[in-house]
Chains A and B, each alone.
Chain A
Amino acid sequence: MLLAQQPNKRFATVEEIGETVAFLVNDAAASITGAAIAVDGGWTAH
């Protein structure tokens, strides 16, 4: 019921959010700045 509006049908984990942040602070993401990155399984886009 709670996940009915979330396309991937599961809650994100703290590990997934941690790794997203690790990516953002690394040089690999050097051109990502001032961006809002949704880590929500598609919830806000749905």
Chain B
Amino acid sequence: METLLSKSWLDPERSLYGKVALVTGSTSGIGLGIAHALARCGASIMLNGLGRAEDIARTQQAIAQEARVTVLYSDADLTRVDAVGEMVEMTCDTLGGIDILVNNAGIQHVAPVDEFPPAKWDQIVALNLSAAFHPIRLVLPRMKQNGFGRIVNIASAHGLVASPFKAAYVTAKQRAARPDQDRRAGSRGAAGHLQRSLPGLRRHAAGREADRRSGQGSRHPARIRHP
């Protein structure tokens, strides 16, 4: 009998061989960790995110060499709907489709609600919430057509539990952690999965900066790495 162990998702089986994964916000941090893990399973990777061109080129090369897969990069600004569309098109054109979508990109800003900059609110909602919707909207028809698709949205422990000075982040993440009532109706009949993962406390430079600014009164420290 074939057991789960005999078809492990870990390396030697290269269980995602031939699949294409688009991982947003994957030039560093959690997104990069996800890109590495999927590449080790044999998936081709489309990276996306911020960073210096030479650093990103090195990251591409490192993953490609380690996992022996194709690794490309899109510099799409996910707060722009048309840029998301271009990224999806570019991924399909260069890698042959999108089998796995991981919505991971996100940002944080800490300030009391009455001092929260409106532009920062808009940016966080655009990136931490809407930027997950647009790629899903664009890849679902292809996944239905192919009869295969995996979608993972990276939320946050803040998708479940709030903390002070993070009004925009917590609002976007609470919504991002519970989108499926909406989406299930729209994706019925698709073979795709809608899954979410809620990373918790993790040490990260952005988190430390957020900690510093949110002060010591924070019951839940800002070690919640986006997104």
A interface residues with partner B (beta carbon < 8 Å):
2-3, 5-6, 11-30, 32-41, 43-44
Q: List 20 A-B contacts (CB under 8 A).
A: A11-B223, A14-B202, A15-B33, A17-B33, A22-B10, A22-B37, A24-B193, A24-B195, A24-B197, A25-B102, A28-B9, A29-B193, A33-B195, A34-B184, A35-B195, A36-B159, A36-B177, A38-B198, A39-B198, A40-B201
The reply to whether A25 and B100 contact each other, CB–CB distance below 8 Å, is yes
With A19-B10, A20-B197 given, can you name 10 additional A-B contacts, CB distance below 8 Å?
Answer: A6-B201, A12-B200, A14-B202, A17-B197, A21-B152, A22-B37, A25-B195, A34-B193, A38-B160, A41-B200
| Cα A11 to Cα B154 with chains together (Å) | 17
Q: A17 near B16 (CB under 8 angstroms)?
A: no
A33 to B180, CA, bound (A): 10
Q: Closest residue of chain A to B216, judged by CB?
A: A1
With a CB–CB cut-off of 8 A, which chain B residues contact A25? 16, 21, 38, 100, 102, 150, 152, 193, 195
In whole angstroms, how far apart are the Cα atoms of A5 and B88 in the complex? 40
Residues of chain A within 8 A (CB-CB) of B160 are 36, 38, 44
Contacts A27-B7, A36-B155, A40-B157; A18 near B33 (Cβ below 8 A) = yes
- Whether the pair A35, B196 counts as a contact (CB closer than 8 A) is yes
Known: A26-B41, A27-B7, A28-B4. A12 touches B193 (CB 8 A): no
Beta-carbon contact of A43 and B4 below 8 Å: no
Residues of A within 8 A of B1 (CB): none
Say whether, besides A23-B9, A24-B195, A3 and B16 are in contact (CB < 8 Å): no
| A12, B221: Cα distance in complex, Å | 14
Determine if B100 and A37 form an interchain contact, defined as CB atoms under 8 angstroms apart. Answer: no
A28 to B16, CA, bound (A): 12
Are A44 and B197 in contact (CB-based, < 8 A)?
no
Q: A37-B197, A39-B197 are in contact. Are A44 and B15 (CB under 8 A)?
A: no
The interface size of chain B toward A, counting residues with CB under 8 Å, comes to 47
Residue B80 interfacial (CB < 8 Å): no
Asked if A21 and B221 sit within 8 Å, CB to CB, the answer is no
**Residues of chain B from 179 to 211 with CB closer than 8 A to chain A in the complex:** 180, 184, 193-203
